[in-house]
Amino acid sequence: MKIALAILAIALSGAGLTAGLRGGLRWAAAVLLGIGAWSAAYAAALLLFGSTGSALVAKEIALIAAGALLLLRSRSAARKKNNFFFRSSEPGPRSPTHAGPEPQARSAVPAWLWLFFAASCALATAAVVEHTLRFPDGGYDAWMIWNTRARFLVRAADYRTAFSPRLLFWLHQDYPWLVPGAVAQAFLLSRTESLAVPAVISWLFGALAVAVLALSAARLRGPRWGLFAGLVLATTPCFATFSSNQQSDVPLGAFLALAVALLLIWQEAQGAEDLLVVAGFAAGLGAWTKNEGLLYLGCLALALVVRERKLRPAALFLLGALPLLALLAGFKLLLEPANDFVLFTTPGGLLERALSPGRWSELALLTLRRIVYFQDFALWVIAELLLLVFVLRKRPGSVAGTALLFAFAAYGPIYVLQPHPVEWIYRTSVDRLFIQLWPAAILATLLPLGKATAPKPATART
Amino acid sequence: MTQGRVAAVIAALAVIGFCRTAYFHFVSEPRNERPIPGPPIDAQFRALLPLLPRSGEAGYVTDEPLLLRPGFEYQGAKQRFLQMQYALAPLVLRYDDDRAPLVIAHVAHPAHLDAVLRAHGLEAIARAGPTTAVARPR
C-alpha cells in the first residue's frame, strides 16, 4: 500500500509538473521532478511534523492531490487558450514559433550513431555495475555524508539526530538532503537497508541525466543532435564513476540540465512562460540537492535578467523555485546546521586570502593543468574550450551559456576565499563541480553549434 | 564548419572517451584495485553491534589523532572513524570523549590498544577484534 502510494506520488506529481511538455522529454523530466518533489516533500514533512508515520502518508496524499490537480487544470486550460500557467507550454508543430528542429535535422539518423550511443550507454552502465560491486558502499563522500545521513534519517527516533552538532563536522550536517531523503524513503518502503538501494538510485539519476540531455537536444535540434549530446555525456570517463559513487553531484547535474533545457526551449519558443516556472522548480530541486545548486539557481536567475533585460522571466523562474527555497531556509533556520566554511573563517582571514596573489596564481595554474586531465575528461574539455574560443564566441549569447559563465566565474573567488589550502580543496572538489555543470554545458554548447552548422535552405534562382 | 565535420569530431572524441572508460573499469581496476565483491564497511563492525546501544552517544578514542581541520591529505584515522560512524548510526560517536559512560577504543595497530585504554583511564568491558574494545571510565 505504501509502495503504491509512493509510486503514485512520484508519477502524478511529475506528470503534473510537466503537463506543459511533450514527447520523450516529458517522461524523463516527469520522473526526475517526481523523485525530487517526493524527496523534498519528505523533508518538509519531517521538518514540520517530525518522524510520524501519519505525516509521511499525508505528504504522499498531498503530492498525489497536487499532481492530479495540476493535470486536471492543464486539461481544462488546454481548452481555454489564454490560460497563463497551464496551457501547453510548447507551441504546436504548426505554430510559427515552433521551437522544433529544422526539417533537415529531422532527417534519418545513421545507424552507426544509434549503435554507438546504445553501446556507450551500455558501457557506462556496465562500468557503474563493476564499480559498485568493487565499492559496494559507494565513494568516500557517499558513506561519509550521504548514506550516513540516510541511515540516521531511517534509524534515529528523532530525525534531527542526523544534523546534530554533537556529530563531527566531517559529516557536513549543513548539506541539503534530496538524495539522502530519497534513499531513506526507499529503505523504509523496501524494509531493508540493502546496499543495492542507494546504488540503484544513483544509477537512475545518471540515466535520467543522459535522458534529459539527449531528449531536450533532440527536441530542439532533432534526433541526430540528441544522440550527439547523450554520446558526449555517456563517453565522458568520470561520468560513469560518479554515477556509481552514490553522491549528489550527478543528481544535481541532472536537475541543472533540466532547468537549462527548459530555459532553452522557452527561449526558442518565445512566450511559453510556464516553462520558466518549471525550470525554476528544477533549479530549486538542485539547490535542495547540494549547496552549489543554490549558486546555479542564482546564476540562472541573474542570466535571465541580463539576457532578457526585464524582470518578469526571472521573477517567474524564482516563483517556481520558491517552495524549495522555503524548504532550504526552513532547514537552515530550524536546525541551524554548522557550515565548515563559516566554522573556519574569520573576517581577517578572508581579507588576507582575497589579497593573496599566491592563492590566485595557484588556482589559475591548477585550472590550466586540469583542462588536460585525460583520466576523467578524456579530450572533451579541450574540445569544449576550442569550440568556445573559435566558434561559439561569435554566436549570440543564451541564458544558459551566460549562467554557466557566471557560475564558472563565481568559483574563482570561492576557491580563493574559502579557508582551506587551495590545492587540497581544488583537487578534492573540482571534478565534482565539473560533473554538476557538464550536462548543462553540453546542451549550452551543442545547441548553438547545431544552429551554426545547419544547412542553409536552398533559394530559388531567378 | 559543416554538420558532417562536427559529427566526425564528436565521434572521434567519443571513441577516445569510450576506450578510456573501458580500459579503466575493465583492465586497470581489476589489476590494481580491491577484488569483486568488495568488502562492505558494515562487515568490519558487525562484532561491535551487540556490545553497544542502538542510539545515544559513545565516546571514541584512538592511537592516531584525527585531523580536525579540513585541508590535508587523506588520513586513515579519519576514514576509520567515519566508517564506524556510518556503520553504527544512529549512535553518535564523540571523538576524544573518554568520560562518556561507554567509550569505543579503535586503533590502527593492535599493539596500541591496551596503551590507549590506559592513557585514557579506561577499563575494557569487551573486545571486538584485535583493534577494537568497548570500555568505560575507571
The per-residue pLDDT for range A321-330, each reduced to its tens digit, is: 999 999 999 9
Q: What is the pLDDT of residues A136-149, one digit of tens each?
A: 999 999 999 999 99
Q: Three cell numbers at A241? A: 564513476
Owner of C-alpha cell 570517463: A237
Looking at the fold, whether B49 and B31 belong to one and the same domain comes out as no
Chain B residue closest to A145 (CA)? B86
Window from A71-80, A365-374, A412-421, B124-133 with minimum mean pLDDT = A71-80
Strands B57-61 and B92-95: parallel
Q: What are phi and psi of A441, to 5 degrees?
A: -65, -35
Question: CB of A33 within 8 A of CB of A282?
Answer: yes
Looking at the fold, whether B45 and B84 belong to one and the same domain comes out as yes
Query: For an interface test with A, which of B18, B27, B106 has the most A Cβ atoms less than 10 Å from its Cβ?
Result: B18
A157 in contact with chain B, both atoms CB, cutoff 8 A: yes
Q: Which residues share a beta bridge with A232? A: none
> Which own/partner contact pairs does A306-312 have at CB distance under 8 Å and 24+ positions apart?
A306/A402, A307/A397, A307/A398, A307/A399, A307/A402, A308/A399, A312/A273
Looking at the fold, whether B68 and B100 belong to one and the same domain comes out as yes
CA separation for the pair A334, A163 (Å, rounded): 11
CA separation for the pair B120, B136 (Å, rounded): 10
Looking at the fold, whether B67 and B129 belong to one and the same domain comes out as yes
CA separation for the pair A356, A353 (Å, rounded): 5
* CB contact (8 A) between residue A123 and residue B55: no
**How many structural domains compose chain B?**
2
pTM above 0.90, yes or no: yes
Helices assigned H by DSSP within A135-248: 140-141, 147-155, 178-190, 196-221, 223-234, 237-244
Structural domain that includes position B7: 1-38
Looking at the fold, whether B21 and B60 belong to one and the same domain comes out as no
Looking at the fold, whether B67 and B82 belong to one and the same domain comes out as yes
A123 in contact with chain B, both atoms CB, cutoff 8 A: yes
A391 in contact with chain B, both atoms CB, cutoff 8 A: yes
Segments making up each domain of chain A, as ranges: 2-78+114-447
Q: Three cell numbers at A71? A: 493535470
* CB contact (8 A) between residue A344 and residue B10: no
DSSP states of A277-335 as a string? Answer: HHHHHHHHHHHTT-HHHHHHHHHHHHHHHHHHSSSHHHHHHHHHHHHHHHHHHHHHHHH
Half-sphere exposure of A94 (CA within 13 A, CB side): 0
Looking at the fold, whether B27 and B52 belong to one and the same domain comes out as no
Q: What is the pLDDT of residues A37-49, one digit of tens each?
A: 999 999 999 999 9
Cα dihedral A137→A141→A145→A149 (10° resolution)? -30
B94 in contact with chain A, both atoms CB, cutoff 8 A: yes
Nearest residue to A293 via CA among A371, A407, A208: A407
Please, which pLDDT band fits residue A99 given cuts at 50, 70 and 90?
Answer: low
CA separation for the pair A150, B86 (Å, rounded): 10
Cα–Cα distances (Å) from A240 to A204, A206, A267, A289, in that order, read 12, 8, 31, 19
Window 36-95 of A: residues touching B by CB (8 A cutoff) are none
Say yes or no to pLDDT of A18 above 90: yes
Window 327-366 of A: residues touching B by CB (8 A cutoff) are 340, 344
A395 exposure class (CB count in 10 Å sphere: 0-12, 13-18, 19+) = middle
Looking at the fold, whether B56 and B1 belong to one and the same domain comes out as no
Looking at the fold, whether B133 and B74 belong to one and the same domain comes out as yes
Sort out which chain A residues have CB atoms less than 8 A from B73's CB and list them: 424
Chain A residue closest to B4 (CA)? A453
A44 exposure class (CB count in 10 Å sphere: 0-12, 13-18, 19+) = buried
Sort out which chain A residues have CB atoms less than 8 A from B52's CB and list them: none
* CB contact (8 A) between residue A166 and residue B94: yes
Q: What are phi and psi of A37, to 5 degrees?
A: -65, -40
Mean pLDDT for all residues in chain A: 91
Q: What is the pLDDT of residues B92-129, one digit of tens each?
A: 999 999 999 999 999 999 999 999 999 999 999 999 99
Looking at the fold, whether B72 and B115 belong to one and the same domain comes out as yes
Looking at the fold, whether B69 and B98 belong to one and the same domain comes out as yes
Say yes or no to pLDDT of B74 above 80: no
Looking at the fold, whether B84 and B21 belong to one and the same domain comes out as no
Tell me: ipTM over 0.85. yes
B55 in contact with chain A, both atoms CB, cutoff 8 A: yes
Q: What is the pLDDT of residues A128-183, one digit of tens each?
A: 999 999 999 999 999 999 999 999 999 999 999 999 999 998 899 999 999 999 99
Q: How many beta-carbon pairs under 8 angstroms link A with B?
A: 154
Average pLDDT over residues A205-212: 98
